[in-house]
Amino acid sequence: MPAFHIGPRSTPQVIKVLIWITVIVSILSPMITFSFHYFFGKLGPSQLLSLSFFGIKQGYLWQFLTYFFLQSSGVGISLGLLISLFFYMFLLWFAGSELVFRFGSLQFLYLYLGGGIFAGLIGMLVAWMGSSYLMLATSGPAAYAVLVGWCMLFPEFQLALFFVIRMKAKWLVLIILGLSLLSSLSYGDGVPFFTTLAGIIWGYLFSLIVWKLPTPFQRK
C-alpha cells in the first residue's frame, strides 16, 4: 500500500472557508468580548456564540451551530487555545479535503455540521443530568467526526507517527481518539468526554449509513 503524503493535493473552497471562519472568530472573540464587558457591560461574542444553558434559555438556538466555530480556553488568547485551534484545523484540512474530493461539499457539510450539532445536544443533556455549568466552545467533536470519516475511507494507508514510526491510518486514528477521550476525562463534569464521544459516533454512523463505508477493522 503506497504511503499517504502529508496533506491533500489541493484545498477545497469549503474547507478554506470553515478554517478561516473558525480561526478569525476564535482569535477576535476574546478581544471583542473584553471590550464589550469593559466599556458596555454587555455580553460579547464569546458568550453569544458559545453553547450554554443561559444562551439556550434566552432563545439563542444558533449556539448549537456556532459553538464549534469558536475555540476557547476561557482565559482569553492562550498557548493552549492556539495549540488546540491549530490541531483541529489541521485535522479539518488534512482529512476534510479528501472527503470533499470524494463526496462533495454538501455531503461533507452534513458530516461536519451534523457532528457539531449532535455533540452539542449530547453535551447539553449530560450537563443537565449532572446539574453542571455548561459553556462549550470547541471544534473538537466536529473535527473528530471528519477524522473518523476519513479513517473509514482510507483505513489502510501508511502514515508516519512523528515522521518515524509507520503504521496504518486506522491504528493511528484510534490512538488519537483514545488519547483525546482520556484527556477529556480530566474534566469532572463529563461534558468534554461525552461531546468528544458524540462527535466520534456521529462520524462513524454517518460514514457507515450514508456513505456505506465499512468499518475499518473488517478489512484485511
Confidence of residue 4 (pLDDT cuts 50, 70, 90): very low
The answer to the question of residue 3 being in a domain is no
Q: In this predicted structure, what is the pLDDT of residue 134?
A: 78
Residue 210: CB atoms within 10 Å: 14
Its domain, for residue 101, covers 13-218
pLDDT in tens, 77-123: 788 889 999 999 999 999 999 999 999 999 999 999 999 999 999 99
CATH number of the domain that residue 143 is part of: 1.20.1540.10
How big, in percent rounded to 5, are the helix, strand and coil portions of the chain? 65, 5, 25
Q: Looking at residues 4-8, what average pLDDT do you find?
A: 61
Number of domains in the chain: 1
Q: What is the mean pLDDT of residues 53-81?
A: 87
> Hey, which bits of the chain come out as E strands?
51-52, 135-136, 158-161, 165-168
Residue 8: inside a domain: no
pTM of the model: 0.90
Whether 208 has a pLDDT exceeding 60, the answer reads yes
Domain assignment present for residue 1? The answer is no
Res. 177: pLDDT tops 60: yes
What is the pLDDT, as a whole number, of residue 2?
Answer: 42
In a domain, 6, yes or no: no
Tell me the pairing of strands 165-168 and 51-52. unpaired
